[in-house]
Amino acid sequence: MTAPVPRLELGELGLDRGAHLLVKHALRGLALGAELEVVGSAPDLRLHLQAWARQQGLGWAPIPGGARLTRTAALGGRWAGAERAGESAPSGNKSVLEQPPARWGLAARGAMVEAGDLGFEFRLDRKEVLWSERGGELYRQALAAQWDPAVAIDWSAPCELPDEVEDAVVQVMTYLIENETAALLVPARFLSGIHPHFREVLQLLAVQAADEARHIEVFTRRATLKRADLGLSTQGGQASLKTLIDEPDYALAFFLLSVLGEGSFLSLLRFLHEHAPDPVTARVAELSGVDEARHVAFAMAHLKRHLAHDPHLRPRLAAAVEARFDSLREMSGLNEEVFDALVLLAAGSFQPAAIARGHAAVLGLKADMDAARRHRLEQLGFERSEAERLSSLHTRNFM
């Protein structure tokens, strides 16, 4: 005995109001060659079923009140050979692949991806290089810690400084803006080459770039609080930053930028917070420092993981510090104007005794930076003596 043909009753619903969803749903449950009767009272139902069936590659025959459709391979044929792009949650063993195929393109991790290859190219597609288990957690921290410069900083706080000290603040801000611009461009440059499978890395670097954009804003705003013009920008300072921008290797770039550069900046921003001559400077340094600490933490996390997987990475990191030192050997390092401005800023006045205090504070800052760098290098597995040597080779421009 032949099984009765299943029947889909659409009532008043026509294909002009979304009935195709119900028809498709019913067809999906049928075997190839099976029939489905679709009936209803919508005035144009039969006509629309006829045109729709032709477009979908289905069989069609008129019946009273509708049409009889025949399931063919055309329905859902698009999904032959589709593949699941890992798993959305990052925790499972097979969630995040070691090297996801480029053909998955922009598909969300965990999506079912139609077969095909549109020729996407992602230069950065290896988990070993990119991944850190802390990525998702740091991204959530970053989002929760976002601050609005208009709210977080009291721009009307008293800020009447001697001209020389105000000039020093403007010079330091000018230097910071330049450095934060480099810190924005480096993640932004790598972002476009990262396989979207590594969603958390994309998200975190995007927020990192946005953090730097905000730092550029607040440093600019502090610099122009009392002055129309900014301070000096030196070739030496820019040459040092250019080596960061030019570094094509992901691991090396974030080692130099985030571990050594932003790591040093943590000390600098803490110094500015402590010695700032006015509350606005103190606050912008404090807030920026919190963000920078997160950037350093992520770089430390993915580099530790990378080092654990690739024994050849550590000598490459060391060689990168040496190469950068060599390429900057002819440059003068931290420009005099910035150094002097830091002394004056910490001194708070031109009084000799104050200058002496400021000078001592800046020397203390440099020692603090060196100690922090050595500590991080040791955390990355460098021997103490090697950490000392590499820290001493770090750019005198701090970043």
Partner 1 sequence: MKDSRPLVLGAVAYDAKVVTIWDGFREWFGAQGLAFDYVLFTNYERQVEAHFAGACDVAWNSPLAWIEAQRLAAKRRRTVEAVAMRDTDRDLTSVIVVPAKGSVRSLADLRGRRIGVGAQDSPQATLIPLLHLAEAGLEPGRDVEVVHHDVLVGKHGDHVGGERDAARALLAGQVDAACLLDANHLAFAQDGTFAPGATRLLAQTAAYDHCNFTVLDGAPAQPLARFRELLLGMRHDDPAVRRLLDLEGLKAWLPGRTSGYAQLARAVDRFRFLERWLAAAAG
Residues forming contacts to partner 1 in the complex (CB under 8 A) are 14-17, 43-44, 47-48, 50-52, 54-57, 73-74, 77-78, 80-81, 114-117
Supply the minimum distance, in Å, between the C-beta of residue 85 and partner 1: 15
Which token pair is 291?
């963000």
Supply the minimum distance, in Å, between the C-beta of residue 121 and partner 1: 18
Which residue number, 47 or 210, has a Cβ lying nearer to partner 1? Answer: 47
Which residue number, 21 or 367, has a Cβ lying nearer to partner 1? Answer: 21
Contact 170, 223 (CB under 8 A): yes
Supply the minimum distance, in Å, between the C-beta of residue 212 and partner 1: 40
Contact 230, 222 (CB under 8 A): no
Which token pair is 360?
């001592």
Supply the minimum distance, in Å, between the C-beta of residue 25 and partner 1: 17
Which residue number, 116 or 248, has a Cβ lying nearer to partner 1? Answer: 116
Sequence-distant (6+) residues with CB within 8 A of 276 are: 169, 282, 285, 345
DSSP H or E run through 135:
helix 135-144
Which residue number, 24 or 304, has a Cβ lying nearer to partner 1? Answer: 24
Burial of 346 (0-12, 13-18, 19+ CB in 10 A): buried
Q: Which residues pair with 59 in a beta bridge?
A: 70
Supply the minimum distance, in Å, between the C-beta of residue 55 and partner 1: 6
- Cα–Cα distances in Å, from 140 out to 127, 136, 203, 254? 20, 6, 10, 20
Supply the minimum distance, in Å, between the C-beta of residue 157 and partner 1: 56
Which residue number, 44 or 154, has a Cβ lying nearer to partner 1? Answer: 44
Q: Which residues pair with 39 in a beta bridge?
A: 9, 66
Which residue number, 32 or 319, has a Cβ lying nearer to partner 1? Answer: 32
Q: How far apart are CA 343 and CA 321, in angstroms?
A: 27
